[in-house]
Amino acid sequence: MDVQEYLDHMNRGDPIEGGGEIHKIMREINESTMQLTFELNSHYHTQAEVRELFEKIIGKPVDKTFRLFPPFYTNCGKNTVVGKRVFINTGCHFVDQGGITIGDGTMLGNNVILTTLNHDFDPEKRSTTYPAPILIGKNVWIGSGVTVVPGVKIGDGAVIGAGSVVTRDIPDHVIAAGVPARVIRAIHPGEKPRQRKDLARERLEELD
Catalytic residues, by residue number, are 119
Burial per residue of 168-196, b for 16 or more beta-carbon CB atoms within 10 angstroms, e otherwise: eebeebbbbbeeebeeeeeeeeeeeeeee
- Sequence-ordered list of residues with C-beta below 8 angstroms from that of 68, at least 6 positions apart, any chain: 47, 50, 51, 54, 87, 88
On whether the CB atoms of residues 117 and 98 are closer than 8 A, the answer is yes
Measured between its terminal Cα atoms, the distance across the chain in Å is 72
Q: How many CA atoms lie within 13 A of 52 on its CB side?
A: 6
Residue 92, Cβ neighbours under 10 Å: how many?
23
How long is the chain?
208
Beta bridge partners of 141: 107, 159
Report which DSSP code applies to 84: T
- Residue 165, classified by CB atoms within 10 Å of its CB into exposed (0-12), middle (13-18) or buried (19+), is middle
